[in-house]
Homo-oligomer: A and B are copies of this chain.
């Protein structure tokens, strides 16, 4: 986009502009980058995305794509001088946080791999990444059960806070490439029902890039979309008719799975994947360690799986 000031005549301004910029407009790289299943704008100065957009439906969050087959890597589309590297993150104390989550791309191995490009990654507090933010991502995937289309735009924020009567922005930069650590992260969630139109709902959230207490609710991080826009410097979904928009948290409650439920979810997953009784029992001991109570369903699962593994072992020794 360009803007012409036509206090003087437009033709003259344009002509003068091309003399001033005889050797080209300063080049910030592409404003928008398209991948198999996400779209983003990369900030070549901060070495993080500015925003990352997704659209998820039930078939995206199921499938066999495997994150264990992928690695974090610099995005080959970004010139080295403007790219983050894995070295920048190494031993920094900050994790590599996905904006478009890998698990939103289970339908397609390439789409999943592309979420591991460092253009989709920013320095995220480890506990935030595996805890609250992870639960927020699970909530987004869960929305695909209740709405036909879920659109999510995620990204970083650098917010000021008062220090000695002044408003100050302070943030760390990592490694040789000075990868900027955001103070906060945002997520704008837009859903629409099969009937579209008046069945649209949106909510915007701003979450500090730090450990979030188990007792915090997603609703605690709700912000008016316009407030977020004023801070990030851009407008979301510019072609959306906001007059018809519902508040997602009024339509869908915005309740995250509890941290305990999430632990149980992972333990269930790991019980399922265990390939020896030793592995199975070590997963089971995590329950005690984390002071979680298994329900009847989980007990049954454990017992059944244990019997199975013992039978398998017997069969093997017979061969």
CB within 8 Å of B: which residues of A?
A: 1-5, 7-8, 12-14, 16-17, 19-39, 41, 43-46, 51, 53-55, 77, 81-82, 110-111, 113-114, 149, 151, 153, 160, 166-174, 178, 180, 190, 226, 229-240
B180 touches A172 (CB 8 A): no
B36 touches A232 (CB 8 A): no
Query: With the chains together, A290 CA to B218 CA distance in Å?
Result: 62
How far, in Å, is A62 (CB) from chain B's closest CB?
A: 18
Counted per complex, copies of this chain come to 2
Instruction: Using A23-B239, A25-B32 as known contacts, list a sample of 11 further A-B pairs with CB atoms less than 8 Å apart, ordered by residue number in A.
Output: A5-B34, A7-B36, A14-B34, A20-B53, A24-B237, A26-B234, A26-B237, A27-B234, A29-B233, A82-B233, A169-B173
Q: A31-B1, A44-B233 are in contact. Are A23 and B82 (CB under 8 A)?
A: no
B160 touches A167 (CB 8 A): no
B178 touches A172 (CB 8 A): no
Q: Which B residue's beta carbon lies closest to that of A37? A: B16
B190 touches A23 (CB 8 A): yes
Q: A7-B110, A178-B167 are in contact. Are A81 and B160 (CB under 8 A)?
A: no
Q: A17-B39, A36-B13 are in contact. Are A238 and B25 (CB under 8 A)?
A: yes
A178 touches B151 (CB 8 A): no
Partner of A178, one of B7, B36, B160: B160
- Which residue among A20, A21, A27, A45 has the maximum number of chain B CB atoms within 10 Å of its CB? A20
Q: Which B residue's beta carbon lies closest to that of A117? A: B5
A171 touches B172 (CB 8 A): no
- Which residue among A21, A34, A231 has the maximum number of chain B CB atoms within 10 Å of its CB? A34
Q: Which B residue's beta carbon lies closest to that of A166? A: B172
A232 touches B45 (CB 8 A): yes
The interface residues of chain B lying within 8 Å CB-to-CB of A77 are: 3, 5
Query: With the chains together, A5 CA to B97 CA distance in Å?
Result: 21
- Which residue among A33, A113, A153 has the maximum number of chain B CB atoms within 10 Å of its CB? A33
How far, in Å, is A261 (CB) from chain B's closest CB?
A: 30
The interface residues of chain B lying within 8 Å CB-to-CB of A13 are: 34-36
Query: With the chains together, A13 CA to B25 CA distance in Å?
Result: 28
Q: A32-B2, A114-B5 are in contact. Are A26 and B236 (CB under 8 A)?
A: yes
The interface residues of chain B lying within 8 Å CB-to-CB of A149 are: 22
The interface residues of chain B lying within 8 Å CB-to-CB of A5 are: 33-36, 77, 114
Query: With the chains together, A154 CA to B310 CA distance in Å?
Result: 73
